[in-house]
Amino acid sequence: MLKNATKNRPIIIGVTGGSGSGKTSVSQAIFKQLHGHSLLMLQEDSYYKDQDEKSMDERVKVNYDHPDAFDTDLLIEQINDLLDWKKIEVPVYDYAAHTRSNEVIIKDPKEVIIVEGILVLNDPRLRDLMDIKIFVDTDDDIRIIRRIQRDIEERGRSLQSVINQYLATVKPMYHQFIEPTKRYADIIVPEGGENQVAIDLLVTKVRDIISS
């Protein structure tokens, strides 16, 4: 039984997987194919804790792949607000500065809400808010190659810093906290955003829920 859809509330879809697995691509593909419905995409990364009090040297050493790095309470509070059809103020995260910016973005509630991030199935309180849970499953070697490209091009990182971070925190935290959440997924999507069959099935399911 779907938790939210039956109560005339927004449908919450959680999309998780390791860094570089294709979570954003899968979420965007679902988003694109669900045109005609009102949609909102929330990224767990927006809810990284503020590090303003720390120096840059200290910020670089933070483990950004541990659940403690996120303000999950705020994410849960805001999803509950959306379920009550209330507006939310989403923080804006700056990867280069490793902290939140001073801005927030106001988002209106929508019929379908996609919540995407590495640990969205880790906290039972968050997991329990989701109607459909998806795990994007991509091999470690592909993910690190994608991450090197992205972090250098888009997040202001050096090759050496990406490698150091991957070995120190990204990889061990994936195996400790992210990969174990696969067992909670309703659907495991291999090949991420290129898996058109999986995307079509998901979109059909969401349309069924909305029209039922």
H or E stretch at 188:
strand 187-190
Pair of tokens at residue 206: 């969401």
User: Nearest 5 degrees, angle CA 80-CA 51-CA 146?
Assistant: 80
Is the distance from CB of 41 to CB of 68 less than 8 angstroms? no
In angstroms, the CA 105 to CA 107 distance is 6
Please state the residue numbers annotated as binding site: 17-24
Tokens found for residue 82 = 């959306």
**CA contacts within 13 A on the Cβ side of 28:** 7
Instruction: Give residues 20-39 in contact with ligand L45E5XJ5 (rule: CB under 6 A).
Output: 20, 23
Using the rule CB under 6 A, is 14 a contact of ligand ADP?
no
Which residue stretch of 19-27, 70-78, 79-87, 120-128 sits at the interface with ligand L45E5XJ5 (rule: CB under 6 A)? 19-27
194 contact choice in ligand ADP, ligand L45E5XJ5, none (CB below 5 to 8 Å, kind-dependent): ligand ADP
Distance separating alpha carbons of residues 19 and 144, to the nearest angstrom = 8
Q: Is 10 in the site for ligand L45E5XJ5 (CB under 6 A)?
A: no
**For ligand ADP, what does the binding mask look like between residues 60 and 99, x meaning CB under 6 A?**
----------------------------------------
Nearer CB in complex with ligand L45E5XJ5: 131/151? 151
x-or-dash string of contact with ligand L45E5XJ5, 39-68, rule CB under 6 A: ------x--x---------------xx---
